[in-house]
C-alpha cells in the first residue's frame, strides 16, 4: 500500500506570495492533519480534517488555511508569505481522527 | 497546558541498548507514539502504546509507560548505526492533535 504523498517536495517563494501544498493520504484513510516543523518551534499542529470537515485548528494566523476533498486528499494554503513561514510542512493521515498517524515526507518551503 | 519534554542528545556504542525518555503533563492522552526522523525525511511511525498499557514490545523496541509519573520510554536493543536519527515522542490528546516533544538526537558510534 502506498504511503502518504506530498507535493511538491521543495518550494522557494518570495515574501508576499501565496503557496498551496498538497497531500494524498494512504488509501482508505479519511483523516488528514498538517504540521509545521521549524528548528526553533519544533513540530506544531496546524489543522485536522475528517470527511471534508475541519475538526481542529492550531494557533496559527488566518493566513494558513486548508481543505479536504471528497477523495480525502487535502491541500493547505498560506497567503501573504512571511520569512518566518519557512519550514518543513508535514501531512499525516489516519483511518480515523484518533488512529495511528502516518506521515508523508514533507514539503520544504523556503521564503526569501 | 500540555507539555512534552525529552532530553536533546543521546550517544551510545553500536551493540549497546539505547533508552530515550519522555515526560508529559497531559494525563488524558489516549495514544502515545514514538516517531523517528532521519535527515531530510518525514516522520516514521516506530511504535505506539495505548494509555491503558504499561509495556509494549516490538522486535528490538520496548516501550514502557509509567502513568503515575507521566513517563514514557523507548528502549532500542542492539543499537545499530542505522538507528542514528532524531526520535520524537508524541501524545494524542483530547483536543484531537499530536503534541510532540523536542526530539532526542541519537548518535550511534561504531
A34 bridge partner residues: A47, A91
Note the Cα A70 to chain centre separation in Å.
Answer: 17
pLDDT of residue B1: 61
Task: Report pLDDT digits (tens) over A51-99.
Answer: 999 999 999 999 999 999 999 999 999 999 999 999 999 999 999 877 7
Position A8 pLDDT exceeds 80: yes
The per-residue DSSP string of A21-59 comes to: EEEEPPTT--EEEEEEEETTTEEEEEEEEETTEEEEE-S
> In a mutagenesis test of the B interface, which of A5, A9, A101 is the best target, namely the one with the most B β-carbons within 10 Å?
A101
d(CA B94, CA A61) in angstroms, rounded, equals: 22
* Cβ-based contacts under 8 A for chains A and B: 51
Q: Note whether B95 contacts A: Cβ–Cβ < 8 A.
A: yes
User: Mean pLDDT: which of A86-100, B8-22, B83-97 is highest?
Assistant: B8-22
A103 to B102: CB separation less than 8 angstroms, yes or no: no
* pLDDT band at A2; cut points 50, 70, 90: confident
The per-residue DSSP string of B21-40 comes to: EEEES-TT-SEEEEEEE-TT
- Cα nearest neighbour of A47 on chain B: B97
Position A46 pLDDT exceeds 90: yes
d(CA A99, CA A103) in angstroms, rounded, equals: 13
Task: Report pLDDT digits (tens) over B18-53.
Answer: 999 999 998 777 789 999 999 988 999 999 999 889
> In a mutagenesis test of the B interface, which of A4, A45, A48, A99 is the best target, namely the one with the most B β-carbons within 10 Å?
A45
What does the mean pLDDT of chain B come to?
Answer: 93
pLDDT of residue B51: 87
Half-sphere exposure of B28 (CA within 13 A, CB side): 8
Residue of B30, B48, B88 lying closest to A43 (CB–CB): B88
- Cα nearest neighbour of B40 on chain A: A105
d(CA B93, CA B29) in angstroms, rounded, equals: 4
Measured between beta carbons, the chain B residues lying within 8 angstroms of A104 are: 42
- Per-residue buried b or exposed e for A29-59, using 16+ beta carbons within 10 Å of the residue's own CB: bbbbbbbbbeeeeebbbbbbbbeeeeeebbe
Q: Note whether B88 contacts A: Cβ–Cβ < 8 A.
A: yes
Mind telling me how many Å the CA of A15 is from chain B's nearest CA? 24
Amino acid at each position: 500500500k502506498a504511503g502518504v504523498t506530498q507535493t511538491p517536495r521543495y518550494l522557494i517563494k518570495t515574501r508576499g506570495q501565496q503557496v498551496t501544498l498538497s497531500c494524498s493520504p494512504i488509501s482508505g484513510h479519511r483523516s488528514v492533519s498538517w504540521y509545521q516543523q521549524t528548528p526553533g518551534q519544533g513540530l506544531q499542529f496546524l489543522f485536522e480534517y475528517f470527511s471534508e470537515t475541519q475538526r481542529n485548528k492550531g494557533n496559527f494566523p488566518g493566513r494558513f488555511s486548508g481543505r479536504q476533498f471528497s477523495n480525502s486528499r487535502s491541500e493547505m494554503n498560506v497567503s501573504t508569505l512571511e520569512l518566518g513561514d519557512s519550514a518543513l510542512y508535514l501531512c499525516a493521515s489516519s483511518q480515523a481522527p484518533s488512529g495511528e498517524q502516518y506521515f508523508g515526507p514533507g514539503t520544504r518551503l523556503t521564503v526569501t | 497546558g500540555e507539555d512534552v519534554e525529552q532530553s536533546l542528545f543521546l550517544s551510545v556504542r553500536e551493540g549497546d541498548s539505547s533508552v530515550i525518555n519522555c515526560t508529559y503533563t497531559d494525563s488524558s492522552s489516549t495514544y502515545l507514539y514514538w516517531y523517528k526522523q532521519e535527515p531530510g525525511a518525514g516522520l516514521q511511525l516506530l511504535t505506539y502504546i495505548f494509555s491503558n498499557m504499561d509495556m509494549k514490545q516490538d522486535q528490538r523496541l520496548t516501550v514502557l509507560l509509567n502513568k503515575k509519573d507521566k513517563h514514557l520510554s523507548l528502549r532500542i536493543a542492539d543499537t545499530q548505526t542505522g538507528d542514528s536519527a532524531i526520535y520524537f515522542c508524541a501524545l494524542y490528546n483530547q483536543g484531537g492533535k499530536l503534541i510532540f516533544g523536542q526530539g532526542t538526537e541519537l548518535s550511534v558510534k561504531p
